[in-house]
Amino acid sequence: MGEASREIMRRARELVPEWTPDQVHEALKRKGEGAQDLVLVDVREKHEWNEGYIPGALHVPRGYLELQIEEAVPDKTKPVVLYCAGGVRSLMAGATLKQMGYQNVISMAGGFGQWRARGYEVAQPRTLGEAQRKRYSRHLLIPEVGEAGQLKLLDSRVLLLGAGGLGSPAAYYLAAAGVGTIGVIDSDVVDESNLQRQILHNVSRIGKYKAESARETIEALNPDVKVITYVDRLDETNVARIIADYDVIIDGTDNFPTRYLLNDASIIANKPVVHGSVFRFEGQVTVFKPHEGPCYRCLYPEPPPAALAPSCAEAGVLGVLPGVIGLLQAVETIKLLLGIGEPLVGRLLTYDALAGEFSELKLYRDPQCPACGENAHPENLPTYADVCALSA
């Protein structure tokens, strides 16, 4: 080490106190007992982190410290303990944090090498395989996703109600994004008229159950994805059992009874529903998240007459329109799974294809709503199956 380097280190030590691994271990033990609220930050590179880290540490590589530390540790009054491999980078990083206004910064002398040599606990991170790193490389470049977010997607479970116009693009892109488990419930079979918009299917699968056709397409796209099929119709006898295993539900149905049934069951199970619908040249998307925003019954207390709400089979739909709405549903689903952005809770996004315009309407929760209001009883509400004469 040259004279200039030694001088830099000397100045850093004047700014940043050093603790031994024994002192850090004791402080972490006290933290576990509620004694103090310190934050442990690993400033090593990704490949070093992958070889093991101190349990409970945040990973903020030295090269990204100035960009990421304020998001990782927003409270600059908290004690922050930094460590690297040998104690040099953490000391320099500590000096940087002091310049950024952090008041109580400590560097662990000897670094991770000394920690491990003392026999203290080391955690092994779960990481993506090499093939997965290539497949999801563009996600890994996004700070809001990264490897941790991609692993979260791979652990996630999404249920699609319907493998039709909306379910097809949503399922295809969620599978491409690496959502690990996708459930598909649909009792219908592939018809030639579906192929104008339902991109999961093809001419060779006409007459085949849509759920099974969807499984073949998704598995061919991404072997990471497990597809669970339900060749069934959602009803009162199976809705609670089926939705219980999923994190987010995508509503791609085109009939009111199923939407009301799903709404009530999702409130009881506390499951968010990403709702979408299309009609000729218009579509809409919103997120019904129990206890945070309005529900489907707040928006539609009662179904309109069947003559005013025909299905796609009766009224027609521009073939590409479900692609737009289904992809928006996929985007909202990923935001919910990762806990990022502002999901469309309490907001209805509408799209007019002819005008080329998006609009947004504010939705409000009805305190008197029988499903989600103050005195709600969602388990005892009608689904209007006898009233709605719509095609499924």
Domain positions in the chain are 3-117, 156-380
Strands 248-251 and 273-279: parallel
pLDDT score of 311 = 58
> What value does the mean pLDDT take over residues 53-65?
95
- Determine whether 124 is exposed, middle or buried from the number of CB atoms within 10 Å of its CB (0-12, 13-18, 19+): exposed
Question: Is the domain covering 156-380 a CATH 3.40.50.300 domain?
Answer: no
pLDDT score of 302 = 86
**Of the listed ranges 65-74, 249-258, 305-314, the one predicted with least confidence:** 305-314
* DSSP 8-class letter at 123: B
> What value does the mean pLDDT take over residues 47-60?
94
Q: What per-residue string of b and e applies to 82-113 under the rule 16 or more CB within 10 Å gives b?
A: bbbbbbbbbbbbbbbbeeeebeebbbbbbbbe
User: What would the DSSP string read from start to end of 105-119?
Assistant: EEEETTHHHHHHHTT
pLDDT score of 377 = 87
- The C-alpha atoms of residue 319 and residue 322 are separated, in whole angstroms, by 7
Tokens read off for 63 = 């090269």
Strands 157-161 and 181-185: parallel
Q: Which residues pair with 349 in a beta bridge?
A: 285, 360
pLDDT score of 351 = 98
- The C-alpha atoms of residue 52 and residue 133 are separated, in whole angstroms, by 19
Instruction: Note the CATH architecture for domain 3-117.
Output: 3-Layer(aba) Sandwich (3.40)
What global pTM score does this model have? 0.80
Q: Is the pLDDT of residue 390 over 50?
A: no
Q: At what angle do helices 88-99 and 65-72 cross, to 10 degrees?
A: 70
Q: At what angle do helices 210-221 and 167-177 cross, to 10 degrees?
A: 30
**Of the listed ranges 74-83, 257-266, 373-382, the one predicted with least confidence:** 373-382
> What value does the mean pLDDT take over residues 106-126?
95
pLDDT score of 11 = 87
Tokens read off for 362 = 């504010």
User: What would the DSSP string read from start to end of 24-75?
Assistant: HHHHHHHHHTTS---EEEE-S-HHHHHT-B-TT-EE--GGGHHHHHHHH---
Q: Is the pLDDT of residue 392 over 60?
A: no
Letter for the amino acid at 1? M
Cα torsion for 214, 138, 70, 338, to the nearest 10°? 0
- The C-alpha atoms of residue 245 and residue 202 are separated, in whole angstroms, by 29
pLDDT tens per residue across span 150-195: 999 999 999 999 999 999 999 999 999 999 999 999 999 999 999 9
pLDDT score of 159 = 98
Q: Is the pLDDT of residue 389 over 90?
A: no
Q: Is the pLDDT of residue 308 over 90?
A: no
Average pLDDT in the chain: 92
Q: Is the pLDDT of residue 135 over 80?
A: yes
What confidence category does residue 282 fall into, taking pLDDT thresholds of 50, 70 and 90? very high
Q: Is the pLDDT of residue 206 over 90?
A: yes
